[in-house]
């Protein structure tokens, strides 16, 4: 029973069948069509991207019996023999096994003789970087000025090891890694042609595991078909590749959104029976966070076959954009640090804990009731402000701002308390940058049901943009636990904004520091004894 591997069976036989590498195909086709064919070509790139395949197609184009053409017929004796690997004038050399200078000299002894059957004698030297220094020296003169009937096609995965003298004598083409989408599309076309059942998510996993190499992806596809008993499903692909089910990855992301460290560790420990590859698990988690971040940034992002759109949408609502970026960065850094951990599981668990522990201070305070407020730029907090823990736990009851469940319509809060209440709310919001600046310069006028009316001084109107309004509304909705719609009053805002309160507190503290400095006995003694003068602008409160 004879079986041909998919990587060999579906190997391209002409340029039109190539997947990707358009920049190389275009250059070679134009050279063949114009008759300007160089005598030496160097193809570089990682394994399985088509270096040897392109070289063989090029040899076929040069020796096709219908003439030098970019579209070989594929049916003449020369084309068929090249496809079968037995064309006498296509000399394929594995440089890894023929590194000695004597091998190179023996090879070059026959360069001077005319082709036996074809139009050109083509030397295809694979992994040419494995040749010794003496072998390169023996090759140089012939490579620079070969007979007119000879073409050299060199291929390597490590062009940095080639001498500059060789590089300067060749036309160089760097073959790129193939995108995952192109690999998955080609695998799908092959399975449809073979009549084999498949799942799109399974093919996406194989394409990702191929790491830009079509040959590796086809070899893995062959293995998956055998492993799955004649089908290519997602569950079979995950079992074969050693990856955990995507439900577990989604569960970890949901636990991260809840910020419950105990449950997060339980979720990590529940993966132990599957003996997962923790580096790959961090890759999967980072990949999910990438999709969530794209969904938050691009509202019409549709996702892909790996995670359902509703899952991405749910996580995009549960996580803030700042947390997504932090968790993603921590995941890829944690993967790098796994080899340094006592064991992979410990490193994985510490990475998850680091995601929660390293959240920004404002976000951490809102997530931890009763936590003390962090230091500010000003020396003292706004006077009479309620504690942040109370603001986080009971935004409606303790702040005098009723929630929609308490009453359909409520009036404004007490004028005397509204500024400090709004300052406490702002300090608890998960905001940063321009959105926090907008909140700090607003004053609370009223909250009627889902509508929050804010005042904004005309001098600060430049802070108000659609994007910052949306961020502020989302942060308030998370704080109150109910949808919020903002309305702005653009005339002179009543009362003091959090920024004004902070500025007044800073000025009061500065005035107090200056009074205390003036009253200091040492300062008074210096004045009386030496006639010293105090420069008020140099006095600052001690932080």
Q: Are strands 442-448 and 451-456 parallel, antiparallel or unpaired?
A: antiparallel
Smallest Cα–Cα separation from 429: which of 502, 376, 358, 480?
480
CATH placement of domain 410-496 = 3.30.300.150
pLDDT for residue 528 = 79
Specify the 3-state DSSP secondary structure of 40: strand
Specify the 3-state DSSP secondary structure of 516: helix
Could you please report the per-residue DSSP string of 460-500? GGGG--HHHHHHHHHHHHHHHTS--EEEEE-SSPPS--HHH
SS3 readout for 227-249: HCCCEECHHHHHHHHCCCCHHHH
Alpha-carbon distance 249 to 244, whole Å?
8
Q: Compute, in degrees rounded to 10, the torsion defined by CA atoms 350, 288, 312, 217.
A: -150
Residue 478 has a CB neighbour count (10 Å cut-off) of 16
Alpha-carbon distance 269 to 267, whole Å?
5
Residues sharing a CB contact under 8 Å with residue 526, sequence separation 6 or more, in sequence order: 532
Q: The whole model's pTM is what?
A: 0.56
Same fold across 6-174 and 410-496: no
Residue spans of the domains in the chain: they are 6-174, 180-241, 246-363, 410-496, 508-538
pLDDT for residue 390 = 34
Q: CATH second-level architecture of 246-363?
A: Up-down Bundle (1.20)
pLDDT for residue 234 = 86
| Helices assigned H by DSSP within 242-320 | 246-258, 261-269, 278-297, 309-318
Kindly provide the residue ranges of all beta strands, DSSP E only, lying in 307-441, ordered along the sequence. none
**Contact indicator for 412, 458 with CB cutoff of 8 Å:** no
Output the six-digit token pair for 402.
């009723």
Residue 331 has a CB neighbour count (10 Å cut-off) of 25
Smallest Cα–Cα separation from 236: which of 178, 197, 270?
197
pLDDT for residue 2 = 72
> Quick one: DSSP state of residue 147?
-
**Contact indicator for 388, 424 with CB cutoff of 8 Å:** yes
Residue 157, CA distances (Å) to 18, 54, 459, 529 in order? 19, 14, 62, 83
Alpha-carbon distance 476 to 484, whole Å?
7
Domain covering 6-174, topology:
Rossmann fold (3.40.50)
**Contact indicator for 10, 222 with CB cutoff of 8 Å:** no
Q: Compute, in degrees rounded to 10, the torsion defined by CA atoms 85, 86, 92, 96.
A: 70
Alpha-carbon distance 422 to 429, whole Å?
11
Alpha-carbon distance 444 to 442, whole Å?
7
Alpha-carbon distance 446 to 424, whole Å?
15
**Positions of the chain with pLDDT lower than 70, given as ranges:** 1, 360-419, 491-494, 542-543
pLDDT for residue 1 = 52
- Beta pairing partners, 172: 42
First-to-last C-alpha distance (Å) of the chain:
84
Output the six-digit token pair for 441.
């310069």
Domain covering 180-241, topology:
Helicase, Ruva Protein; domain 3 (1.10.8)
Residues sharing a CB contact under 8 Å with residue 286, sequence separation 6 or more, in sequence order: 328, 331, 332, 335
């Amino acid at each position: 029973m004879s079986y041909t591997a998919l990587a060999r069976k579906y190997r391209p036989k002409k340029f039109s069948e190539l997947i990707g590498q358009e920049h190389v195909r275009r250059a070679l086709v134009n050279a063949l069509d114009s008759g300007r064919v160089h005598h030496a070509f160097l193809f570089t790139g990682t394994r399985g991207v088509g270096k040897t395949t392109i070289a063989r197609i090029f040899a076929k184009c040069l020796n096709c019996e219908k003439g030098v053409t970019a579209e070989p017929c594929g049916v003449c004796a020369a084309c068929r023999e090249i496809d079968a690997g037995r064309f006498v004038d296509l000399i394929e050399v594995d440089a890894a096994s023929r590194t000695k200078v004597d091998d190179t000299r023996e090879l070059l002894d026959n360069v001077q003789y005319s082709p036996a059957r074809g139009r050109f004698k083509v030397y295809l030297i694979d992994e040419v970087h494995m040749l010794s220094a003496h072998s390169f020296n023996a090759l140089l003169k012939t490579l620079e000025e070969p007979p007119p009937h000879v073409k050299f096609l060199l291929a390597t995965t490590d062009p940095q090891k080639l001498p500059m003298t060789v590089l300067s004598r060749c036309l160089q083409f760097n073959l790129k890694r193939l995108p995952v989408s192109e690999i998955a599309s080609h695998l799908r076309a092959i399975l449809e042609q073979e009549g084999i059942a498949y799942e799109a998510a399974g093919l996406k996993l194989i394409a990702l595991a191929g790491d830009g190499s079509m040959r590796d992806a086809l070899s893995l596809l062959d293995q998956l078909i055998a492993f799955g008993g004649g089908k290519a499903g997602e569950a079979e692909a995950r079992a074969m590749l050693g990856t955990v089910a995507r439900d577990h990855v989604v569960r970890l992301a949901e636990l991260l959104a809840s910020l419950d460290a105990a449950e997060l560790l339980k979720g990590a420990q529940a993966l132990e029976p599957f003996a997962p590859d923790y580096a790959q698990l961090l890759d999967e988690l980072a990949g999910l966070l990438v999709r969530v971040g794209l969904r938050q940034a691009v509202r019409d992002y549709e996702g892909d076959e790996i995670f359902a759109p509703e899952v991405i949408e749910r996580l995009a609502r549960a996580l803030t954009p700042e947390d997504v970026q932090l968790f993603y960065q921590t995941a890829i850094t944690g993967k790098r640090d796994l080899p340094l951990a006592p064991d992979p599981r410990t490193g994985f668990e510490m990475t998850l804990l680091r995601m929660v522990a390293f959240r920004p201070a404002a976000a951490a305070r809102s997530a931890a009731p009763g936590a003390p407020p962090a230091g500010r730029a000003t020396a003292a907090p706004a006077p009479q402000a309620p504690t942040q823990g109370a603001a986080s736990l009971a935004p409606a009851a303790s702040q005098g701002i009723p929630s929609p469940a308490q009453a359909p319509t409520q009036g404004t809060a007490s004028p005397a308390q509204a500024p400090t209440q709004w300052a406490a709310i702002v300090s608890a919001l998960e905001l940063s940058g321009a959105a926090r600046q907008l909140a700090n310069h607003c004053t609370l006028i009223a909250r009627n049901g889902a509508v929050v009316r804010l005042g904004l001084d005309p001098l600060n109107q430049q802070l108000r943009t659609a994007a910052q309004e949306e961020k502020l509304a989302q942060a308030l909705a998370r704080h109150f636990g109910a949808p919020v719609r903002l309305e702005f009053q653009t005339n002179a805002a009543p009362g003091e904004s959090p920024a004004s309160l902070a500025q007044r507190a800073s000025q009061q503290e500065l005035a107090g520091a200056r009074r205390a400095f003036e009253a200091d006995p040492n300062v008074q003694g210096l004045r009386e004894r030496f006639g010293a003068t105090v420069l008020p602008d140099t006095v600052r409160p001690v932080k």
